A and B are shown apart, each in its own frame.
Chain A
Amino acid sequence: MSCGKDLIRIVVAEPEIIARAAAAEAKGLRSDAFYWRFVATALSFAVFGCSALLLSLTVLPLLRLLPRERCQRYSRIVLQRGMRAFIGVMYGLGTLTYEFQGTQRLGRAGQLIVANHPSLIDVIFLIAFTPQADCIVKQAMFRNLLTRSVVRGAGYIGNGQAVDMIEGAAATLRSGQCLIMFPEGTRTRPGQPLTLHRGAANVAVRAASIVTPVYIRCVPTTLTKSEPWYRIPLRRPHFSLQVGEDFELGAFHDMASIPVASRAFNECLRARFEGELQRLNGYTPGQPAVARPA
């Protein structure tokens, strides 16, 4: 298969097994080793917590002794590998299956990656597969004793003041780094129409060289905004992540002002995500994505 290299992992079960699990789900029955998945989900959270604690008490504070730029580079390598390993743990324990298509197009200079946000763990996938990614984190993480040295060391941006966030994000992109943003600002509310905050669009027209969408779909939904972690889905969730075609920015740069361009681009983002997510709803897991830039 020509796209074999970027299909990081196709770990979809046999179609008959999926069909059987879906049929069971429709009747409200538990399948795909439900009770084991419950234990495995708890284990995954424990593994994440313990490794995060361990890293933030050992390696990451040590890295802060290095000059800022090297500290940031190495911190991001550690975080990327950690997230990658954690995805391996979740897959290995049987809590989920996943596929991520087009990852070779992530991590380019000045690239803004925008993704929809159906579940708590989306960011883990994005950090795991994007080299040297910068991202925007809750301001509280800069105050929390445990996380502050991590987010400072990795050079992440806080979401506290709009000014600091926008200027920090723009500086990241202008310096040729890659930045991950969720334009929804928070996790998607299932069944609700897509609403995007203008922050990502503003940063895009202000400073990005490339804007690349990642369409994320998780079936059945899990770890959404309204579900506690222990309410696991009746069957095993499958994450499909697909890197979409880059946006054309030229027309937006020609507009009268950044606010005008960011409103227009925000609408363009919303339309693209809505269309592509709708298309993905008819998508069979494990198949290469349909539309793909050459």
Chain B
Amino acid sequence: MQTYDEILARIRATLVELFELPAQSVRPEARLLEDLEIDSIDVVDLMEHVRRHTGRKVTATDFRSVRTVDDLVNVVQRLLSS
């Protein structure tokens, strides 16, 4: 079982890798669209990445309510513990 902070760290690394964002901009309260410029098209790539790395089935429904990095961490945590 990974802690919130471990998952946040992995997500930070992922976002830095996929979107070439500066690591310090990936804070829990950062909004994906407004602050990080990650739109619904990018979320498709993000979902694929999560699917590959967690080996879990990831659907659009899981990500529908994701607005912030914090939401993202919670979704991944839920996926990992299911």
Contact = CB atoms under 8 A, between A and B. Distances in A.
B45 A259 contact: yes
B29 interface: no
A145 interface: no
B41 A162 contact: yes
Contacts of A166: 41, 44
Interface stretch (A37-45, A58-66, A195-203): A195-203
A234 B41 CA distance: 41
A262 B44 contact: no
Nearest to B17: A257
B18 A257 contact: yes
A152 B48 CA distance: 26
B45 A257 contact: yes
Interface in B1-32: 17-20
Given A163-B47, A163-B60, A164-B60, A198 B18 contact: no
Interface residues of A, number: 16
A161 B45 contact: no
A124 B45 CA distance: 31
Nearest to A161: B60
B43 interface: yes
B17 A256 contact: yes
Interface string A153-190: 00000000111101100000000000000000000000
A45 B14 CA distance: 51
A121 interface: no
Contacts of B41: 162, 166, 197-199, 202, 262
A122 B18 CA distance: 35
A202 B40 CA distance: 11
A163 B44 CA distance: 5
Contact of B18 (A161, A164, A167, A260): A260
Contacts of A258: 18, 45
B47 A257 contact: no
A164 B43 CA distance: 12
- For the complex of A and B, 5 pairs with smallest distance between CB atoms: A162-B40, A163-B60, A257-B18, A166-B44, A198-B41
Given A202-B41, A202-B44, A259-B45, 17 more contacts: A161-B60, A162-B40, A162-B43, A163-B47, A164-B60, A167-B44, A198-B39, A198-B42, A199-B41, A256-B17, A257-B17, A257-B18, A257-B45, A258-B18, A259-B18, A260-B18, A260-B20
